[in-house]
Structure 1
Amino acid sequence: MLLNDEVQLLRKVPYFCRVDPCKLKLLAFTSDRVLYEPGQVLFTQGESSDAAYVILHGTVDLLTRSSGEDLKIGEAGCNSIIGEMCLISNSLQAVTARAATEVEALRITKDTFFKVIADNPRMSLEISRTLAENLRGSRYDGTNRIDHHVL
């Protein structure tokens, strides 16, 4: 995939929709493209976080551990970002993210994520706006989908 294609995909993510295309090009260039087969884990509940993932293709199940079993509490698909809240809050992963299908993602390291935020105050505003919208809206809509931005 060309760098310009990645920039266009990043613009579809709420946090990045109003970020300068040059900054997105730098973000795409400094991030790693990763592939996961169904069943592979992107990150595990309780682990420290070192990256966020923008899902380019495929579906990721979001799971929580309860009574020794993994329970699906949601899913993330194309153009969504997961793991970013743990970066922002410097906390442990709240869920396990496991590929439900073949997944192609852009892995954005903590350092890269914060550099883009520092270089683009507008992104801080977009993160705050997205968080507020998620808190105001319904997190669970009865279809076993949860708003992944709050995780």
Structure 2
Amino acid sequence: MDEAAAVAAFAELDIFSSFSDEQLRLLAFVCEEVSLAPGDILYSAGDAADGGYVLVSGALEATHSPVEGSKRFRIEPVALVGELGLMLTRPRGASLRAARTSTLLFVPRGAFLKLLRSHPELAEDVATTIRAELSRYLDSIAQLGGRFSS
């Protein structure tokens, strides 16, 4: 994938919204392109996280449980997946596999954190974006809570 296509994909994602074109190009430079055939596993729940992925084309299926028949969630481009791996060394919480031929960009944690350390304003903007996503997630859980109370 060329630099312009990678930069365009990054620019579509909230977490990179405050990055300058130069910073997005730096990110594109350190990324690795990953190609998956249908059925290929990107990662499994419990795997060590060492970065995040940007789904540029194709589709992924996520499962949060190793139990056969567990609910699958489809992820369409452009999407950031495994984003906690950009910041934390926690194990992956879900398994992802390609639903069809897919292209992703792997963003290594070390390079991402180095960019944030050299540009503190980006770190604050990324933290704000993550807090907003977490808040939306927690709100959706709270709304579901009413369905399960007796």
TM-score per shorter chain, which class? 0.7 to 0.9
Shift of 1:50: 1.7
Structure 1 vs Structure 2: percent identity of aligned residues? 22
AA matched with 2:8: Q
| Matched-pair contact (CA < 8 Å) for 2:50–2:89 | no
Unaligned regions of 5+ residues in structure 1, if any? 142-151
| Matched-pair contact (CA < 8 Å) for 1:19–1:122 | no
| Matched-pair contact (CA < 8 Å) for 1:64–1:70 | no
AA matched with 2:92: Q
RMSD across aligned positions (CA): 2.1
| Matched-pair contact (CA < 8 Å) for 1:47–1:93 | yes
Range with bigger deviation, 69-78 or 20-29: 69-78
Task: Name the CA distance, whole Å, in 2 between partners of 1:10 and 1:29.
Answer: 12
For residues 7-46 of structure 1, what are the structure 2 equivalents within 5 Å?
A: 7-46=7-46
Q: Deviations over 1:116-141 (max 9, x none)?
A: 22223233223222222223325798
For residues 95-134 of structure 1, what are the structure 2 equivalents within 5 Å?
A: 95-134=94-133
- State the TM-score, normalizing by the size of structure 2: 0.81
AA matched with 2:34: V
Q: Deviations over 1:79-103 (max 9, x none)?
A: 2111121342321000011111111
Task: Name the CA distance, whole Å, in 2 between partners of 1:98 and 1:140.
Answer: 28
Q: Deviations over 1:20-60 (max 9, x none)?
A: 11111111111111110111111110111122100111111
| Matched-pair contact (CA < 8 Å) for 1:60–1:97 | yes
Task: Please identify runs of 4+ aligned residues in structure 1 that moved more than 6 A.
Answer: none
Whose helix proportion is higher, 1 or 2?
A: 2
Task: Name the CA distance, whole Å, in 1 between partners of 2:90 and 2:65.
Answer: 17
Unaligned regions of 5+ residues in structure 2, if any? 141-150
Task: Name the CA distance, whole Å, in 1 between partners of 2:99 and 2:54.
Answer: 15
